[in-house]
Amino acid sequence: MKLSDEQKRALINLAKDAILAVFERRVPQLPDDEAFREKRGLFVTLNLKGELRGCIGYIQPYKTIAQSVAEMAVAAAFEDYRFPPLRREELDEIEIEISLLSPLVELKSIDEIQVGRDGLFLQHPYGSGLLLPQVATEYNWDRDTFLEHLCAKAGVRRGAHKDKGAKLFSFQAQVFG
């Protein structure tokens, strides 16, 4: 499903309103768009002055797009353990990016990975980690560097994606902000 520019704007506005609703102690209004009723995995990323300020999401399609955008925007703003909770005065400066995920596909070989197109999810007996497709391009990583960072994100040693019991998945994302 490809979203129109108007639908993308509506989701970005929903994310910002969901964060604002926390400060105002109210419940945000979900947009009534048939497309937003579909269940999809997605991530909401917050950047402040070009720096990551929060990023949280669902890998699997647990909830509708609208519900997930509202919940993950709030989680990225207030629950990402890497950052202090967002302050009200930061809200107007925050840049919001949404990554709407395709279903996960288990890879048979790392040769299937296309940097710039694919995000990666590693499921390992000792940890799991996910990197969105845009991360590799933002840092100009090749496939091997992408895999190294994925292992680090999962909290496992370099090359652990080859271990028995490890599963490597790819996905694509419609990214907008």
Whole-number Å distance between alpha carbons of 145 and 162: 15
* Sign of the torsion formed by the C-alpha atoms of 149, 152, 153 and 159: positive
| Cβ–Cβ under 8 Å, residues 68 and 98 | no
- Helix or strand or coil: residue 167? strand
**Best CATH choice for the domain 5-101 from the list 3.30.300.210, 3.30.700.20, 3.40.50.150, 3.90.1660.10:** 3.30.700.20
This prediction has a pTM of: 0.88
> Given this model, what pLDDT does residue 1 score?
74
Reading the chain (177 residues) residue by residue, the pLDDT tens digits are: 789 999 999 999 999 999 999 999 999 999 999 999 999 999 999 999 999 999 999 999 999 999 999 999 999 999 999 999 999 999 999 999 999 999 999 999 999 999 999 999 999 999 999 999 999 999 999 999 999 999 999 999 999 999 999 999 999 999 999
Q: Where are the domains of the chain?
A: 5-101, 105-176
> Given this model, what pLDDT does residue 131 score?
95
Class of domain 105-176: alpha beta
